[in-house]
Structure 1
Amino acid sequence: MTLTSPSFAGPVAVPGLDGMSYGPMSLDQLRAEASAGLVDGIMLITPDNSGRCLAERVPLQRFLADYDELGAFKVPLMLWGIDIEQVVRPGLDHIGGMGAGVPDVPLVPDMTTIRRVPWLPGTPIVICDPYRPDGTPLAFAPRQILKRQLARLEALGVTMQAATELEFYLFDESYEDAWKADHKGLTAASRYHAAYDAVAAIKAEPFVNEVIRQMDLAGVETEGYAHEYGFGQQEINLRHAEALEMADRHFLYKFGVKSIAARMGVSATFMAKWAIDGDGSSCHIHTSLWDVTGTTAMGDQRAFDGYVAGVAQGMAGATLMYAPTLNSYRRFQAHSFAPTVIAVGDDNRTCSLRLVGDGPTRRVENRVPGADVNPYVALGAMAASGANGIEADLAMPEPVSGNMYERDDLPTLATSLPEAIAQFAASEGLRAGLGAEVHQHLLDVGRDEELAFRTETVTDWEKRRFFERA
């Protein structure tokens, strides 16, 4: 199916879409809609280790009666276990393994996150946090990782705002057809390299316009759109917000893009490198510091210098948090606009950390994360490393200039998942900043990703190399 197919509008054009109220809702608004018979259910959603949207739909009257009761809504702890396929391996009892009986944990709704999203027109959503049965938050759940680090920054007198620039590839085939084709021979939404090319973008406009429209309705503000360099590669940037709100918007955005693609009979992928001969998809993360009221920018103050220095100093250890999968490391190639060294530069896109602007609103762009990143974990890594830098009163690194791909005197980023795991394991700064439980969990997640690849797959490369010649 192509994007110009007459049927593209059908599944998306939900009756009444434009006449309904979307975006954030108060509890009173939700009650009013329930009384008016406009909705009869709500979807409880929460991010897993990879940032994927997990969900359970419950009757709205039950939710309204029980939302503030700990344990009213429960899910298996194993959802925050290790593998994206939910494989429960021996020795993982602390995260819901078989030895512990695969227990439940309470799912607590964050009542500030209720909203109606257009891709689920009849069902409002609410983002939830997993808790222990004793009423304490699950420390290694992604949202909690970020919350704890933002609290550290606030104790140091600063808050963090952020914006993500998230790229993805768009294909004519549906997810089902792509699966049947073993994800080979797919038809990209453009035929040639086309960064910022308005003509190449035309074919993707029905989908992209629908995404932007539905995101705006949902209260996920977009900053801009451009066709990126790769065949069918798109970039829709989100408007900056407070860091937790930004991570929530990023989470909802990916959920929305995939849902809208499924409705339109096309497919989108956020893999960091979907094809080895193609261009990588990044998720550049811009962060700025503000005072605790969130009204005064602090880009020209010592705290910002320490923050940037801390992020740079912690970059090697935190790479696992920015590049969490085996596929992430396919993207770090010279002359690709994906960084390969750890360096800070003024408006320099060959650096891993790019300083943007001047004065109080000065910000730093982290160019290491790919599109497969978990936004809560990545922002948590920046907050943790930045807090370490502020606490140590580090000075701003001397900005470098020129082409970083030609430098051999700077520390390099990890080139593989095993290397990143080793550097994360050795990072005492992150262990202290994140807490031992969270540090160990993220280490387990990384090791399991490597283990799954080494023991559970036969790759196309192996078949080409050994099928006939072995």
Structure 2
Amino acid sequence: MTRRNARLLSADELVARIEADLIDTVIVAFTDMQGRLLGKRFHGRYFVDVVAKHGTEGCNYLLSVDVDMNTVEGYAMSSWEKGYGDMEFALDFDTIRVLKHLPKTAIIQCDLTWLDESPVIQSPRTILKAQVEKATQAGYVAKAGTELEFIVFDTTYEEAWSSNYRDLTPSNQYNVDYSILGTSRVEPLLRDIRNTMYAAGMDVECAKGECNFGQHEIGFLYDDVVATADNHSVYKTAAKEIAAQHGQALTFMAKYNEREGNSCHIHLSLRGLEDEIVFWRDGARTPLYDQFIAGVLTMMRDFTLLYAPNVNSYKRFADGSFAPTTVAWGLDNRSCAIRLVGKGAGARMENRVPGGDANPYLALAAMLGAGLYGIEHKLELEPELTGNAYTSDKPKVPNTLREARDAFTTSAAARQILGDEVVDHYTTMADVELKAFEASVTDWELRRSFERM
């Protein structure tokens, strides 16, 4: 079997490096609901003798906690009544990477299974793989690339925490969109991230400045959707670790301040099982491509929760901000939720709704599942929107987490595409987020009310 990337290690190569004392630590990790890498660090010798042969495990509450890792009520798969038992970490030996920013360290990603080896269907990676299997059965392979933006600050994470994340100094003091001078100011960090990710088996394209102060983006070449999500998850964690090593901090949160937010535009296309082009023929889009776009548009409001999973996510959607507010498609039109770009082998759709806080597995599963739904039901694509989508009368992207949660949980199509257990699980995740936010007292309330009310 051909490995994903020549810089990834085979299982035998990992063992050989451990035997030669080139690697002494192996991270075994999965991606949780919030898109974070969770797992364990193993001594190399123990990994070879035990984990590589028999696997390892972790508490099933890891897919049923809030951002602060608190156990919460409402999840069917995990509770005090069920005893908070274990899940198995099923190692994916196609994902072994060297992390050169950490001494003698490799990482391997995994799926989650129950003790009887049945899949944990609420796991983000499993949810995406279920849609990949549907695509395979229909005769297609899905390819995708994610474009993550982040803001860099000249302060440590510890200092940022102590200051309640206020009054931080961004690494640039003005808009550095496409600015070479602006990226040069941050190049020691950007270069380190690029080269570390390249060594970790990712095909790095470039770095560029963005609009908010200290905002940047590092682009990676597209790949199969699961590989793209795997890369995305490792990159987000590694970028923060490398920033910390530089005495800096960076954030992927969707809306740090009142300026431009952090997006995660997702480019997606289908190919045939033999890599045939299926979205373009005779100089134009194919009916299959139009049906796929129609499916994603039809499900946009119902799946916004998976593109924008947090209260903060919705503050990014603002008119004239380059973040979409309108459910529409256009040809190379950045005011629309769906922007079509490329032709021939490069024909693809860009979903501009997801923010930097999106879980890549869930966002890709939503896009792919919705597109396949459009093909299955032969949905007709509405006319292209030309001009300014912000001022059009088209349907709007949900503008609050509650609105997105309600659209998701009541959607018969979402339940058909993802299954009831998945929809119910991620509805609960939204409920937990909403309950926590509604119980909090914000800086805005204090400033308005402390003296004057």
Where do 1:52-451 residues align within 5 Å?
A: 52-67=36-51, 72-92=55-75, 94-275=76-257, 277-293=258-274, 295-300=275-280, 301-407=286-392, 409-451=393-435
1:192·1:231 contact (CA, 8 Å) conserved in 2? yes
Aligned-residue offset at 1:103:
1.2
Write the letter of the residue equivalent to 1:468.
E
Unpaired runs of at least 5, structure 2 = 1-5, 281-285
Flag the 1:199–1:41 CA change in 2: closer, same or farther, 3 A. closer
Flag the 1:404–1:440 CA change in 2: closer, same or farther, 3 A. same
Flag the 1:101–1:258 CA change in 2: closer, same or farther, 3 A. same
Write the letter of the residue equivalent to 2:241.
S
The 3-state SS of whatever aligns with 1:74 is strand
Q: Which residue is equivalent to 1:47?
A: 31
Write the letter of the residue equivalent to 1:97.
S
The 3-state SS of whatever aligns with 1:335 is coil
Distance 1:24 1:342 in 2: 39
TM, length-normalised to structure 1: 0.92
Q: Which residue is equivalent to 2:448?
A: 465
Aligned-residue offset at 1:167:
0.3
Flag the 1:194–1:361 CA change in 2: closer, same or farther, 3 A. closer
How much identity, in percent, do the aligned residues show? 38
Aligned-residue offset at 1:136:
0.8
Deviations 1:327-359 (A, max 9, x none): 000000000000001001111000000011223
Aligned-residue offset at 1:360:
4.2
Write the letter of the residue equivalent to 1:113.
T
Aligned-residue offset at 1:90:
3.2
Aligned-residue offset at 1:87:
1.8
Write the letter of the residue equivalent to 2:276.
T
Aligned-residue offset at 1:30:
1.1
Write the letter of the residue equivalent to 2:364.
L
Distance 1:91 1:186 in 2: 37
Flag the 1:48–1:362 CA change in 2: closer, same or farther, 3 A. same
Deviations 1:153-196 (A, max 9, x none): 11111111001111000000010111111111111111112211
Aligned-residue offset at 1:222:
1.6
1:297·1:361 contact (CA, 8 Å) conserved in 2? no
The 3-state SS of whatever aligns with 2:313 is helix
Write the letter of the residue equivalent to 2:127.
I
Deviations 1:170-227 (A, max 9, x none): 0000101111111111111111122112222221111111111111111112222111
1:67·1:108 contact (CA, 8 Å) conserved in 2? no
Aligned-residue offset at 1:91:
4.1
Aligned-residue offset at 1:427:
1.1
Flag the 1:86–1:95 CA change in 2: closer, same or farther, 3 A. farther
Aligned-residue offset at 1:379:
0.1
The 3-state SS of whatever aligns with 1:33 is helix
Q: Which residue is equivalent to 2:3?
A: none
2:64·2:72 contact (CA, 8 Å) conserved in 1? no
Write the letter of the residue equivalent to 2:259.
G
